[in-house]
Amino acid sequence: MNNTNSAEEIMDQFTRELFEDLFGPADEKISEIPKIPEKLALEIDALFTSTKDTERTGPVIDLFSRLKKIKKELNISPDAFGISKETLTLLAFKHQHLDEHGVTVGGRVNRALPIVEQANERVADYLKNKDTEAPSGIELWDRIQENVRRIKSILNIDDDEWSSYSGQLRHCIDSVEKLSNIIDLPSQIIEELTRATKSYRMRLTPYYASLIQPDRTNDPVLLQSVPTGEMVDNIGIEMPPVAADHSPARLIDQFYPRVLTIKATNMCAMYCTHCLRIAHIGKKDRIYSDSAYEDALNYIRNNTHIRDVLITGGDAFVLPNRMIKNILKALDDIDHIKMKRLGTRIPVTTPWRVDSELLEILEESNDKKPVRVVTQINTAQEITPISKNAFKRISKSVSAVLNQAVLLKGINDTKVKMWKLCETIQESYVRPYYIFNCSYRNPQFAHFRVPIEKGRDIVESMYGNISGDAIPRYIATAGGKIPLHRSNVVGHEGSDIVMKKPWSGEKVRYPDADPDEYANKNFSFAKN
């Protein structure tokens, strides 16, 4: 008896609360104690038996949770099942002592489990809708393979050509006729497309076209690759091409001291309908001269502030392996260059381009100084077993693969679509890096734009709900990348900061560092 008393004295607050829930007075709503149904008695008996002679805590937590629920809902306390307060107290203490981190039974039942339950509620609608609202190319794989069979037979592409970069480029879909042969398009869309392709070049690889779900109006892959009438109607007043005012040397864009881009080609395997560089890309393919590359590299050699070079385009993987190797080698030979990044969409548009020679080149350079590959995936639908495999292989050769998505109306502008994108790419060896608010600079795609705040709500909704490693930064490009996140510091109370948890709105006080101590107090060992 003494034993139990002293035990109760050191019972933590959560366990005391739990015992009040179990043995305290009933909720006012529940007046009479019902007779115990036999089934319930048997259930509790079984639960209780499973807690005996075991060092496992799971059954104990199950028993306490169930008893708590029964007391709350039916006003039947544990004694009614022949389980005394004393017995439960001993059980609670036994398991508190067993626990590696001293977690108490009350802590688990009354705190941890309700917190997890609340957390689960926050993702319930996502889990319910993710596979219908935003199916990945992996989930759609059977249907995509049907598309592949159809496209192969209509365009007369054999297996070897299909699974090769050159075959994919040779058969790329670059006319309205070809597109309407492989996808049944309504006549109104064909008219729009005919009008748009007079001003905009269309090109998609047969593989990328196979991701389009033909029975879906406004398929997100179709919208990214097939120009529409809006692009003609929205043209308005041409603005100067982005970064025309940020090019200190040929092929170079720079607005930061430590990092710049080399636009190493203007070619891409497909042309995106939302391309930021639309003024230079997708009009006419150009082969750049050696002197242009030399100018660019010399600028980098002569500017020792620069440490990180982003090789973009167009699409860096459109360059032949030999050229990629030469550029990386030239950069590796410059002492002040410590990092290289390559921008490419090819793993999602033409994954077969990622050949073993390219991987060796990347790996060799990565051994000298880190190489990162930066890609652009805007929907989970673009991740198939094939592109996932390409990313897996790339990720083994470089130090990281990062994704820069563009927030696009009708394509990825819902919470479910964006969460699904970020989770799917994370599972595909790619780290979500940026989400760009679609730029105002190109009136051609005003119809794709999403308000800043809407995007911010979508990105911020990820905090506390999906892996932190899958949460990108939300950015506006305006002569540099400007973060668009809202501050979670909402006020001050005395010397405390008041913060808001983005996932629950709950406010928490956070004592700030003492500004006086910070500014004036030196480390003891640094005195004198």
Ligand X SMILES: *Cc1c(COP(=O)(O)O)cnc(C)c1O
Binding site for ligand X (CB under 6 A): 253-256, 259-261, 310, 481
Question: ω before 314 within 30° of 0 (cis)?
Answer: yes
Q: Among residues 227, 314, 351, 432, which is the contact residue for ligand SF4, using CB under 6 A?
A: 314
d(CA 73, CA 157): 66
**Shortest distance, position 479 Cβ to ligand X, whole Å:** 9
Looking at the Cβ atoms of 77 and 376, the one nearer to ligand SF4 is 376
Three-state DSSP at 399 gives coil
φ, ψ dihedrals at 477, nearest 5°: -95, 120
Q: Interface residues for ligand SF4 in 237-296 (CB under 6 A)? A: 268, 271-272, 275, 277, 281-282
Q: Is 313 in the site for ligand SF4 (CB under 6 A)?
A: yes
Looking at the Cβ atoms of 190 and 259, the one nearer to ligand X is 259
Q: What is the contact mask toward ligand SF4 in residues 423 to 452, using x (rule: CB under 6 A)?
A: ------------------------------
Paired tokens of 472: 């990108």
Q: Is 211 in the site for ligand SF4 (CB under 6 A)?
A: no
Query: How far is CA 105 from each of CA 22, 85, 90, 225, 339, rounded to the nearest angstrom?
Result: 13, 14, 11, 56, 51
d(CA 421, CA 427): 10
Radius of gyration of the chain (CA): 30
Q: What is the DSSP string of 294-361?
A: HHHHHHHHH-TT--EEEEESS-GGGS-HHHHHHHHHHHHTSTT--EEEEE--HHHH-GGG--HHHHHH
d(CA 436, CA 251): 23
Question: Which residues, in sequence order, are bridge partners of residue 508?
Answer: 499
**Shortest distance, position 435 Cβ to ligand X, whole Å:** 13
β-strands 481-483, 489-493 pairing: unpaired
Q: Among residues 315, 332, 413, 423, which is the contact residue for ligand SF4, using CB under 6 A?
A: 315
Looking at the Cβ atoms of 404 and 428, the one nearer to ligand SF4 is 404
- Tally Cβ neighbours within 10 Å of residue 234: 16
Among ligand X, ligand SF4, none, residue 253 binds (CB under 5-8 Å by kind): ligand X
**Shortest distance, position 442 Cβ to ligand X, whole Å:** 14
Q: Is 345 in the site for ligand SF4 (CB under 6 A)?
A: yes
d(CA 394, CA 168): 20
Paired tokens of 467: 């892996």
User: Residue with structure tokens 């592109």?
Assistant: 387
**Shortest distance, position 343 Cβ to ligand X, whole Å:** 9
Give residues with Cβ within 8 angstroms of 291, minimum separation 6: none
Looking at the Cβ atoms of 242 and 416, the one nearer to ligand X is 242
Q: Is 192 in the site for ligand SF4 (CB under 6 A)?
A: no
Which of the stretches 29-37, 53-61, 189-197, 309-317 binds ligand SF4 when contact is defined by CB under 6 A?
309-317
Which of the stretches 88-96, 311-319, 453-461, 503-511 binds ligand SF4 when contact is defined by CB under 6 A?
311-319
d(CA 459, CA 372): 23
Among ligand SF4, ligand X, none, residue 268 binds (CB under 5-8 Å by kind): ligand SF4
Among ligand X, ligand SF4, none, residue 271 binds (CB under 5-8 Å by kind): ligand SF4
Among ligand X, ligand SF4, none, residue 503 binds (CB under 5-8 Å by kind): none
For residue 417, count CB atoms less than 10 angstroms from its CB and return exposed for 0-12, middle for 13-18, buried for 19 or more: buried
Total binding residues for ligand SF4 by CB under 6 A? 12
Q: Is 421 in the site for ligand SF4 (CB under 6 A)?
A: no
Looking at the Cβ atoms of 77 and 261, the one nearer to ligand X is 261
Among ligand X, ligand SF4, none, residue 261 binds (CB under 5-8 Å by kind): ligand X
Residues lying near ligand SF4 in the complex (CB under 6 A)? 268, 271-272, 275, 277, 281-282, 313-315, 345, 376
